[in-house]
Amino acid sequence: MSLKAGIVGLPNVGKSTLFNAITNSHVLAENYPFATIDPNTGVVIVPDERLDYLTEMWQPKKKVNATFEFYDIAGLVKGASKGEGLGNQFLAAIRECDAIVEVVRCFDSEQVLRYNEDPVDPANDIATINLELAMSDLSAVNNRIGKQEVKARIAKDKVAMYEMPILLSLKKTLENGDPARLAKGLTSEQIAYAKKNFFLLSLKPILYVANVADSDYTDLEHCAYYQIVKGIAEKEHAECIPVSCAIEYEISQLPPDEKKEFLASLGAKESGLDKLVKASYKLLNLSTFFTCGKDECRAWTFKNGMLAPQCAGIIHSDFERGFIKAEVYDFDSLKKYGSEEAVKENGKLRSEGKEYVMKDGDIVFFRFNV
């Protein structure tokens, strides 16, 4: 599944440093042949303790984690929605992403100039970006209103009549400079419709990365900048991940055992990057199922809500075409009973058909016939 999260932010906030940490965190080329694509795309491994457990148990020749892509979107400056800087190119790149990761500068440094040379100001930075995306969306929404308004009023066109109240609600929100995500009074069905049909940037799910100074990383309580970003994220029901991009870059250059030591010295179990990867995966509405055997233990990514045959198709199109059934048990049962045999003995191995909605943590064997 090729889903990607786009990294955005104003100039000099640490985007490239973070992106370099991502591309440095070596993805094993032999397991991930698609890992070298264009220079703006970084493939990350999704850390998963469950896969570690399964690999311990099966001792396979190969362990393959789930992956997804980060896309480095440079070039946002104030006025992008009016074509400033790389404006249109920048907005088009965001349009292609499934979610947005916004890096916000939370570190002081005299060496690293701010784009406008003002003091560090996370709230203003977030507002600047939100406003650019909202203005770009507002012009898209106004265009659509222009087309649909007459159709709804005169021709009583059903689609146009359905769209108009949604468009007007979005317009009101965007005119305030707020992201379309925050539009009030829309049903979940209307929001889903807007997501599918209007291609708005500010309707995409977002998470904030607060890029804090190395010295603040272990003392976030006292980092006022971080608290500001966290507060904004909470209001928007978005996630905020504290990261020191500089530290992440250092970590990404270390061999795995030294990486653990370094993290321990910071009092951390996992890196900020690992946290970011996990949170982005969740933001993209993704889950994982596993296939296990002596050859390979593997985590596969699927979109929440997918049915068993579609998930089989992620492995191979033949599996979907010739789908017969899925033999499934859940990871928690395996952990509880200790072995696949014991899972079977306790009646936890199920046979599921074409209508089965796959669940996060399912361990599955697909039966198919082509």
Are the C-beta atoms of 178 and 130 separated by less than 8 Å? yes
* Residue nearer to ligand GDP on the CB measure, 105 or 181: 105
The answer to the question of residue 9 lying near ligand GDP (CB under 6 A) is: yes
Tokens 């010739």, located at residue: 322
Are the C-beta atoms of 13 and 78 separated by less than 8 Å? no
The answer to the question of residue 14 lying near ligand GDP (CB under 6 A) is: yes
The answer to the question of residue 171 lying near ligand GDP (CB under 6 A) is: no
Q: How far is CA 250 from the centre of its chain?
A: 23
In eight-state DSSP terms, residue 244 is: -
Are the C-beta atoms of 18 and 241 separated by less than 8 Å? no
* Residue nearer to ligand GDP on the CB measure, 217 or 300: 217
Residue 218 CB, nearest distance to ligand GDP (Å)? Answer: 13
The answer to the question of residue 42 lying near ligand GDP (CB under 6 A) is: no
What are the helix (H) ranges across 236-271? 245-252, 256-265
Site string for ligand GDP, 235-264 (x = CB under 6 A): ---------xxx------------------
Please, which of residues 77-116 interact with ligand GDP by CB under 6 A? 107, 109, 112
* Residue nearer to ligand GDP on the CB measure, 9 or 309: 9
Residue 205 CB, nearest distance to ligand GDP (Å)? Answer: 21
Site string for ligand GDP, 172-211 (x = CB under 6 A): ---------------------------------------x
CA–CA dist 178, 164 (Å, integer): 19
- 30 exposed, middle or buried (CB, 10 Å; 0-12, 13-18, 19+)? exposed
Residues 6+ apart with CB under 8 A from 218: 266, 267
Q: How far apart are the first and last CA of the chain?
A: 23
How many residues touch ligand GDP under the rule CB under 6 A: the total is 16
Site residues for ligand GDP per CB under 6 A: 9, 11-17, 107, 109, 112, 211, 213, 244-246
